[in-house]
Structure 1
Amino acid sequence: MTIYRLIMALLLPALVAGALWRRLRGHGASHELAERLALRGRGTAPVIWMHGASNGEIASARWLIEEILARDDRLEVLVSCNNPTARAMVAAWALPQVRSVLAPWDTRGAVRRFLRRWRPRALLVLENELWPERIAGCAAEGVPVLAIAARLSERSARSWARLAPGLLRRTLDQLAWLSAQDAASERRLVAAGLPQDRLGPRLVLKAGVAGASPAEPPFPAPPRARCLLAASTHDGEDAAVLDAFLAARAQFDLLVIAPRHPQRGPAIAALATARGLAAGLRSRGEGATGPVYVADTLGEMGLWYALCGTTFIGGTLVAKGGHTPFEPIAAGSALVHGPSVHNFAEIFAALDASGGAVPVTGEADLAPALNGLSPERQARLAAVAARLPQRADPRPILDALDRLARRPG
Structure 2
Amino acid sequence: MPKALALGLWGWAMRLATPILLLRWWRRGRVEPGYRQALSERLAWYSGPAPGAGWLWLHAVSLGETRAAAPLIAALREREPGLRLLLTHTTATGRAAGAELLRAGDAQAWLPLDTPGATRRFFAHWQPRQGVLMETEAWPQLLAAAQAAGVPVDLANARLSERSLRKGERAPALLGVAAARLRAVLAQTEADAQRLRRMGCPQVEVVGNLKYDLAPNPALLALAGQWRALLGEQGLVLAASTREGEEALLLAAWQQLPAPRPRLLIVPRHPQRFDEVAALMPGVARRSRWGPSGPDAQALSSPLWLGDSMREMALYYALADVALLGGSFEALGGQNLIEAAACGCPLLMGPSTFNFAEAAELSLAAGAARRVADAQEALRLAQQLLNEKAALGQMARAAAEFAGAHRGAAARMAERLIPRCDRPA
Q: TM-score, normalised by structure 1?
A: 0.89
CA 1:312–1:395 in structure 2 vs 1: closer, same or farther (change >3 Å)? same
Which of the numbers 379, 396, 405 marks the counterpart of 1:382? Answer: 396
In structure 2, the partner of 1:38 is 44
| Counterpart secondary structure, 2:194 | helix
TM-superposed CA distance for 1:165, in Å, is 0.9
Distance 1:79 1:92 in 2: 11
Secondary structure of the equivalent of 1:216? helix
Deviation at 1:141, TM superposition (A): 2.1
Q: Name the structure 1 match of 2:184.
A: 177
Cα distance change of structure 1 residues 176 and 101 upon mapping to structure 2, 3 Å threshold: same
Do the aligned partners of 1:47 and 1:78 also contact (CA within 8 Å) in 2? yes
1:348-363 mapped onto 2 (5 Å cutoff):
348-363=360-375
Aligned to 1:233: 242
Q: Which residue of 1 aligns with 2:287?
A: 282
Aligned-pair CA distance for 1:250:
6.2
| 1:85-124 to 2 correspondences below 5 Å | 85-92=93-100, 95-124=103-132
CA-to-partner distance for each residue in 1:256-295, whole Å, 9 max, x for gaps?
111001222233223221xxxx211223448424111111
Identity of matched residues, % = 33
- Which SS does the other structure have where 1:109 is aligned? helix
- What secondary structure sits across from 2:185 in the alignment? strand
Q: Is 1:125 the equivalent of 2:138?
A: no
Q: In the TM superposition, what are the counterparts of 1:171-210 in structure 2 within 5 Å?
A: 171-195=178-202, 198-210=203-215
Matching of residue 297 in structure 1 with residue 309 in structure 2: yes
- The one-letter code of the counterpart of 2:287 is R
Q: After TM superposition, give the deviation of residue 130 of structure 1 in Å.
A: 0.9
- Rounded Cα–Cα distance in structure 2 between residues aligned with 1:224 and 1:12: 58
- Tell me, what secondary structure is at the counterpart of 1:271? coil
Of 398-407 and 221-230, the range deviating more from structure 2: 221-230
Question: 1:247, CA displacement in angstroms?
Answer: 4.9
Indicate whether 1:59 and 2:75 are aligned: no
Distance in 1 of aligned mates of 2:359 and 2:119 = 36
1:334 pairs with 2:343:
no
Q: 1:45 to 1:144 in 2, by over 3 A?
A: closer
Change in Cα spacing, 1:367 to 1:23, as seen in structure 2 (3 Å) is: closer
Once the two structures are TM-superposed, the CA of residue 23 in structure 1 deviates from its matched residue by 4.6
Determine if the alignment matches structure 1 residue 151 to structure 2 residue 159.
yes
One-letter amino acid of the counterpart of residue 200, structure 1: E
Distance 1:392 1:245, change over 3 A: farther
Say if 1:16 and 1:239 are closer, same or farther in 2 by CA, change over 3 A. closer
The question of whether the paired residues in 1 share the 8 Å contact of 2:53 and 2:128 is answered with no
| 1:125 to partner: Cα distance | 0.8
* 8 Å CA contact 1:306, 1:331 repeated in 2: yes
In structure 2, the residue corresponding to 1:80 is in which secondary structure?
Answer: strand
Q: Deviations over 1:128-155 (max 9, x none)?
A: 1111121222222222211112222222
The amino acid of 2:115's aligned partner reads: T
Pair 10,96 (structure 1): closer, same or farther in 2 beyond 3 Å: same
CA apart distance, 1:31: 4.9
Quick one: distance in 2 between partners of 1:94 and 1:143? Answer: 22
Q: Secondary structure at the match of 1:230?
A: strand
User: Cα–Cα, structure 1 residues 203 and 25, in superposed 2: closer, same or farther, change >3 Å?
Assistant: closer
Q: Which residue of 1 aligns with 2:86?
A: 78
Deviation at 1:252, TM superposition (A): 6.1
Report the AA paired with residue 38 of structure 1.
A
Q: Give the partner amino acid of 1:11.
A: M
1:248 and 1:99 mapped to 2: Cα distance? Answer: 51
SS at match of 2:205: coil
- The corresponding residue for 2:58 is 50
Aligned-residue offset at 1:399: 2.1
Q: Is the 8 A contact 1:180 1:201 kept in 2?
A: yes
Say which is worse superposed, 317-326 or 97-106, in terms of deviation: 97-106
Instruction: Provide the rounded CA distance (Å) in 1 between the counterparts of 2:365 and 2:189.
Output: 17
Aligned length: 402
Q: Calculate the aligned-residue CA RMSD, in Å.
A: 2.7
* Aligned partner of 1:6 among 4, 9, 27: 9
2:412 maps to 1:396? yes
Any conservation in 1 of the 2:285–2:304 contact (CA below 8 Å)? yes
The match for 1:257 is: 266
The answer to whether the 8 Å contact 2:156/2:187 transfers is: yes
- Measure the CA separation in 1 of the matches of 2:368 and 2:325: 13
* DSSP-derived class of the 1:74 partner: coil
CA contact (8 A) 1:251 1:370 kept: no
How many angstroms apart in 2 are the aligned matches of 1:123 and 1:252? 51
- Checking the alignment, whether the CA contact within 8 Å between 1:279 and 1:294 is kept in structure 2 is yes
SS of the aligned residue for 2:131 comes to strand
- Code of the residue aligned with 1:125 in structure 2: it is L
Query: Does structure 1 retain, via aligned residues, the 8 Å contact 2:53–2:127?
Result: no
Cα distance in structure 2, aligned partners of 1:22 and 1:168: 25
Instruction: Write the distance in 2 (CA, Å) between the matches of 1:103 and 1:293.
Output: 35
Partner of 2:146: 138
User: Which runs of no fewer than 5 residues in structure 1 stay unpaired?
Assistant: none
- Runs (5+) with no aligned partner, structure 2: none
Once the two structures are superposed, what CA deviation does each residue of 1:182-235 show, in whole Å capped at 9, x if it has no partner? 22221122122223xx12223223222113423425967415982221110012
Instruction: Give me the whole-angstrom Cα distance separating, in 2, the residues matched to 1:155 and 1:51.
Output: 23
- Whether the 8 Å contact between 1:147 and 1:178 is mirrored in structure 2 is yes
Q: Structure 2 CA distance, aligned partners of 1:271 and 1:146? A: 43
The 2-side partners of 1:285 and 1:53 are apart by: 30
